Amino acid sequence: MLLPLRRFGALFLLLATAFAGPSVAQDTDTLPQEADMLLWCSSALHLLGVATENETEAGNYFAASQMLVEKAAETLMAAEIPSEDVEGIVALYDERVVTDFESGGELPYTSDACIAALDLQGL
């Protein structure tokens, strides 16, 4: 239950900043390429976790999503993105992934790229 709450918090932050002013000023096009891929894959895996009815499978998707979002946060912090902007950026990627899937077009990252980003050999 903790992982969906993370997404709820990001959504709340995004809505709050939409009415309070531009504190999440980062445009996703200006983020480092690695962070873009990690965030997109994290959101895609989270979406798969929400969509599956198998509880074990959903848990695996959520855990993988969390691993990638943590790696992305490290990348964003190294790029000097303010920590208070990170949750809002995650919420932007959640929206972007839904739009990408709904468009039916080519996705920006393959499932192989997302799996490779997990770097499971290092565990």
- Whole domain around residue 48: which residue ranges? 2-122
122 falls in which pLDDT band (50, 70, 90)?
low
Say what percent of the chain tops pLDDT 90.
62
Task: Name the domain count of the chain.
Answer: 1
Digit-coded pLDDT (tens) for 78-102: 999 888 888 889 889 999 999 999 9
Residue 78 confidence (pLDDT): 92
Quickly list DSSP for 7-50.
HHHHHHHHHHHHHH-SS----GGGS-HHHHHHHHHHHHHHHHHH
